[in-house]
Amino acid sequence: MADPFPTCWLNGAYLPLADARVSPLDRGFLFADGVYEVVPVHRGRPFRLRQHLERLERSLAELRMRTPLAREGWVEVTNRLVAAAGEPELLVYMQVTRGTEFGRNHLFPADGVAPTGFAYVSPYPAPAPAVLQRGLAASMLEDTRWARCDIKSVALLANVLLRQDAQDRGSSEAILVRDGRVTEGSSSTVFVVRAGRLATPPDSHSILPGTTRDAVLELARDWLPCDVRDVSSDELARADEVWIASAGRGVLPVTSLDGRAIGAGVPGPGWQDMYARLQRHLDEIAGRPAMEDA
């Protein structure tokens, strides 16, 4: 993985990432009491920044957590870090925790305790040409996460274990199943294509409302009929195509599941078309203001 860029933002100050310090008594460290966002920057423009900041606000509200910055403040931090990085393809990471108290206490801290805010930028991990040509391997695993996966919490232990389990099986993503239904990937949303129709599971407490998924659904409109509905584990295994989508990976084809080929075992025509449409869309919106919808 490429090194992050040197400048970060921590609690109101821009400073070298290597010098940034947070107390070990921060509730993010003690309790994973925090939320985060990952915003992709393509062609120099943060993609879906408004949607990411809305989701951050929603995660904070669901956890009754204060924000260190209003929305315009996050926009400014994003723009400054992107400008400092000086590259067109990036990932901006933002995190908020419930702050630091002197001691450890499960209950929310006193009103005076300020939330911790942090942001930094890394190079965008563009998919290798071999991934675009051959697709990814995935493993189907039981979803062992908590009951509020719609909140983008930094408490990612189950996601970490599932992703590592997939990796140990030679796969690049774990596609998660609960009660026989696909929820999402360990860090992505999931689409299946069958008989010329796209399907993806609906928003619920079991999945993160994906920003890339919404972009894919919008790009599919007027072209590929799409059903937002439950997808069974059987359907996943028998699909013509499977895609995963996330800020960090864009939309990528899954061409094998648990060692068996999906469809023809190569990236399908639906994905080829969607990938090209997404690239064209990113080119088209490159010059627009960051908070403008697109």
Considering only 15-23, 100-108, 181-189, 217-225, which stretch makes contact with ligand PDD by CB under 6 A?
181-189
Catalytic position from the list 27, 98, 152, 194: 152
Q: Count CA atoms within 13 Å of residue 30 on its CB side.
A: 18
Angle, helices 211-220 vs 269-284, to 10°: value is 100
Contact pick of 59, 78, 172, 211 for ligand PDD (by CB under 6 A): 211
Instruction: Confirm if 263 and 271 have CB atoms less than 8 A apart.
Output: no
Helix-then-strand count for the chain, H and E: 8, 15
With respect to ligand PDD, which residue has the nearer C-beta, 208 or 254? 208
| Distance from C-alpha of 89 to C-alpha of 210, rounded to nearest angstrom | 20
With respect to ligand PDD, which residue has the nearer C-beta, 20 or 155? 155
DSSP letter (8 states) at residue 23: -
Q: Does 251 bind ligand PDD (CB under 6 A)?
A: no
In angstroms, give the least distance from the CB of 103 to ligand PDD: 30
User: Is 152 in the active site?
Assistant: yes
Contact pick of 78, 153, 212, 255 for ligand PDD (by CB under 6 A): 212
Considering only 12-20, 22-30, 134-142, 184-192, which stretch makes contact with ligand PDD by CB under 6 A?
184-192
Contact pick of 188, 206, 255, 256 for ligand PDD (by CB under 6 A): 188
Contact pick of 15, 20, 22, 38 for ligand PDD (by CB under 6 A): 38
| Distance from C-alpha of 288 to C-alpha of 47, rounded to nearest angstrom | 10
Residue 92 β-bridge partners: 39, 121
Assign 7 to helix, strand or coil. Answer: strand
